[in-house]
A = this chain, B = another copy of it.
């Protein structure tokens, strides 16, 4: 198909597709004349992937580029590639003016909580830092998120993770794809579900009064 047809099929403007091509987020088509190229189903799939990561996942184009590198890299060592996939999702640290506070947090309460919980994770995992910062932010505004409530959340999140892991396919490339996309694209699904479930639970409680 030509670029105009790729645009019709994916609902992405031609100018945006040209931008993806220039930035290397979309691989070139097969040249059929000096000014035209031919695109196929692989291009349609790639455009949908870039758009989903951008619009739903909220990733910058630079981070999408890194994610695509991981997804499309020839699978060598299975564990290494999976680690790289997870690492590619870690948000870059914002330039906080309070560098010392951030350092104090590191390896703090979240790390102790994860150990007490008995979770088998790398103690240096950057997501422990993410948890620590998010937890500290709740404390800062007096949200009262204690260890008891954290454990109650974790009980339900383990159920979510069981579903996540059970649906990962056996082949390495498919697994990487699933890990990255499942993390980035299912987060917004869970966030929307949480808001709707809050409303439902509130209505049920109000009716019971």
Contacts and interface: CB of A to CB of B under 8 A. Distances in A.
Interface in A2-23: 11-13, 16
Contacts of A134: 56, 185-186, 188-189, 191-192
Given A51-B140, A156-B159, A125 B12 contact: no
B167 A202 contact: no
Contacts of A119: 196-197, 199-200
B198 A141 contact: no
B167 A198 contact: no
A96 B140 CA distance: 36
B190 A157 contact: yes
Interface in A34-83: 45, 48-49, 51-52, 55-57
A157 B194 contact: yes
Interface in A114-167: 114, 119-122, 125, 127-128, 130-131, 133-135, 137-138, 140-145, 149-150, 152-165, 167
A183 B190 CA distance: 12
Given A98-B11, A185-B141, A199 B130 contact: no
Interface of A: 11-13, 16, 45, 48-49, 51-52, 55-57, 86, 89, 94, 96-98, 100-101, 110, 114, 119-122, 125, 127-128, 130-131, 133-135, 137-138, 140-145, 149-150, 152-165, 167, 178, 181-183, 185-205
User: Which 4 A-B pairs give the minimum distances between C-beta atoms?
Assistant: A11-B98, A161-B197, A131-B192, A56-B137
